[in-house]
């Protein structure tokens, strides 16, 4: 379900937030510019895009951390089972 709202939010206007904030595509948006956009300093539509981008980044970081933890837990489980038997 999370992918559907992200596709809807970014699908039709890919790269628009970068253009609105004057950042070249491919480069990360500086945190200071993103926070200014979230506060609404660049207009309502840019604010909506910035909020969606910030939320998407949080989801992405959280997912990566969970995957990393799972990988470490699996390695420990394999190591323990090898040492037992």
Structural domain boundaries of the chain?
Answer: 2-84
SS3 content of the chain, % helix, strand, coil (to 5): 75, 0, 25
Mean pLDDT of 15-25: 92
Sign of the torsion formed by the C-alpha atoms of 15, 16, 19 and 21: negative
The pTM is what?
Answer: 0.65
pLDDT 10s digits, 25-67: 999 999 999 999 999 999 999 999 999 888 888 888 888 888 8
């Amino acid at each position: 379900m999370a992918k559907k709202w992200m596709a809807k939010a970014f699908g039709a206007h890919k790269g628009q937030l970068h253009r609105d904030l004057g950042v070249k595509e491919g480069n990360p948006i500086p945190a200071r510019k993103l926070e200014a956009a979230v506060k609404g300093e660049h207009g309502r539509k840019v604010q909506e895009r910035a909020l969606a981008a910030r939320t998407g980044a949080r989801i992405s970081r959280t997912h990566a951390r969970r995957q990393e933890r799972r990988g470490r837990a699996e390695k420990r489980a394999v190591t323990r089972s090898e040492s037992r038997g």
